[in-house]
């Protein structure tokens, strides 16, 4: 169900996430716990990267070395014929609309709340994931799954590797 192909007859519009029993390999790096959770939302990350690229392109010198001596009308004429600029601005509007729907501006707070509910102290949230035991790494994987907020969350033997099962307050 969680694969790209899915299961025949299963609704394709549902977002399905599967947290496997094994600790994901990307959790062995030097990412902090909070950063690992934030980076789990691929759509949000893709939108933020696209925003950075567009903004960098917009800030580039567009061939006019000094616009300070131009009149407002000259600047308008220069921008009016720039279809690429109009497309970039439209794309930015789309990106910002989607980021608003995803509550991107409160992402760090949401991640922290989820981690707190899984018994991560503030110090643990800033620690590298690589310093955690297998059970705590699985909690990071669960926090990442909860952060993404899928329609259906499947857990593969969720309590078999947790250090202290039954203590979740989500």
pLDDT tens readout for residues 70-87 = 676 776 666 666 777 778
Do 33 and 124 meet the contact criterion of CB atoms below 8 Å apart? yes
Q: How confident is the model at residue 168 (pLDDT cuts 50, 70, 90)?
A: very low
Q: Report residue 61's pLDDT band, with 50, 70 and 90 as the boundaries.
A: very low
Phi/psi at 41 (nearest 5 deg)? -85, 95
Q: Show Cβ contacts of residue 125 under 8 Å, excluding neighbours closer than 6 positions.
A: 32, 33, 34, 112, 115, 116
């Amino acid at each position: 169900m969680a694969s790209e192909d899915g299961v025949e007859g299963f609704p394709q519009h549902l977002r399905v996430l599967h947290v496997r029993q094994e600790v994901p390999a990307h959790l062995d790096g030097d990412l902090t716990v909070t950063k690992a959770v934030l980076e789990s939302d691929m759509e949000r990350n893709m939108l933020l990267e696209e925003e950075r690229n567009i903004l960098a392109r917009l800030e580039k010198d567009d061939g006019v070395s000094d616009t300070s001596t131009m009149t407002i009308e000259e600047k308008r004429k220069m921008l009016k014929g720039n279809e690429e600029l109009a497309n970039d601005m439209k794309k930015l509007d789309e990106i910002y609309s989607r980021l608003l729907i995803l509550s991107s501006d409160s992402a760090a707070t949401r991640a922290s709340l989820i981690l707190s509910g899984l018994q991560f102290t503030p110090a643990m949230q800033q620690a590298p994931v690589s310093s955690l035991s297998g059970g705590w790494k699985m909690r990071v994987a669960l926090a990442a799954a909860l952060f993404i907020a899928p329609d259906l969350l499947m857990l593969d033997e969720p309590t078999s590797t947790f250090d202290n099962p039954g203590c979740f307050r989500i």
